[in-house]
Amino acid sequence: MESSVSTIDSISLKPVKWFTEFKKTLSSQEDKVIAITGTTTGLGLFSAKNAAELGATVILLNRPSSRSISSYESLKASVPQGNFQSIDCDLKSFESVKKAAAYILENFSRLDVLANNAAVMAQGNILTEDGFDIQMQTNYLSHFLLTKLLYPLLVKTAKSAGESRIINHTSVARFGTSLNPKYLQKQNCEENSSSFPLEYLGRWERYHQSKLANALFTYALKERIKNVNVKALLCHPGVASTSLQSNHAKSGYSFNFSSFMVKYFGQSLEDGSIGLLHCICGNGEKIQSGDFYGPGWSPFAWWGPLTRISPGKAIIDEKQCELLWKESELAIGEPFLLE
């Protein structure tokens, strides 16, 4: 079943090199509750499947759609003994995020892991109902809000179970310009409109900013969490074959850099999942807050076995982390206070 998930979701079939041995290192998740955003395809779907196989109750947080229904049904068929709870959560809507968080707080007494996984890539000048760039709100701002709302339950679980985890998913797209606060603010499509190639470059810059925000958020969290063992973790998939690339290919541009990289330098979805799955299901004694995991070979860690990666100065920069936090609170319209 592992290979079928990858086959359905891949642009091209890739050999599985590291995942089989890696999976043997994962810990039992019996009695744990794990929430994952973006489980209709790709790394989220594959991680939800594996977490359920290890015994976790898995909360699937997705935009209501035919895909969320079919992916839920495929998970139930793949893991008949699995415990899945599907909850509507449209990351393009702060109101939807609030409703999803309220449901979790009302119906679950613990939350061991919150995996902020969902993402869209290289979208055009599209605004959400809240007035933000679709990439920044989907990939980061709504995850900031979701984390803020669920943080009390994560703290409660850490105190009773010994730890809980907040996981953010970045990518090699984090490399580039410094955080620009304008991308965290409400947008105007007219101001961003232009023709190819400037429009194409603009959509990639917005994607970069969102993935940089995911990374900075992790280290801003790490520095703020005090007196409780809620671990802030970061991961990335390297260059892996997932639906992000295939969906981007539908944009109509003949030069698709992302698809080119996956075709010639990418790895399988299974191997791309090792960073996320290690953060979700890895041995807690070996994982510390602030750890960053993913494929470890090549200068930009595009592929390879599981490696603990040095975050680099850019994403632990105190001023950048403070700027991100300030702008994020302004965006969601409320403070995020941690104990």
Matching residue, tokens 């599985």: 16
Q: What is the DSSP letter of 85?
A: E
* Residues contacting residue 250 through CB under 8 Å, at least 6 positions apart: none
Kindly state the tokens that stand for 137: 């709100």
- pLDDT tens by residue, 50-88: 999 999 999 999 999 999 999 999 999 999 999 999 999
Cα separation, 282 vs 165, in Å, equals 11
* Residues contacting residue 203 through CB under 8 Å, at least 6 positions apart: 122, 123, 124, 125, 135
User: Model confidence at 10, in pLDDT bands (50, 70, 90)?
Assistant: very low
Query: What structural domains and CATH numbers belong to the chain?
Result: 2-332 (3.40.50.720)
pLDDT(34) > 80: yes
pLDDT value at residue 173: 84
Mean pLDDT over 284-288 rounds to 93
Average pLDDT over the chain, rounded to an integer: 88
Candidates 297, 291, 279; CA nearest to 238 is 297
Cα separation, 92 vs 138, in Å, equals 5
Which residues, listed in sequence order, are joined to residue 115 by a DSSP beta bridge? 36, 167
Cα separation, 60 vs 166, in Å, equals 15
pLDDT value at residue 257: 52
- pLDDT tens by residue, 146-191: 999 999 999 999 999 999 999 999 988 898 889 999 999 998 765 5
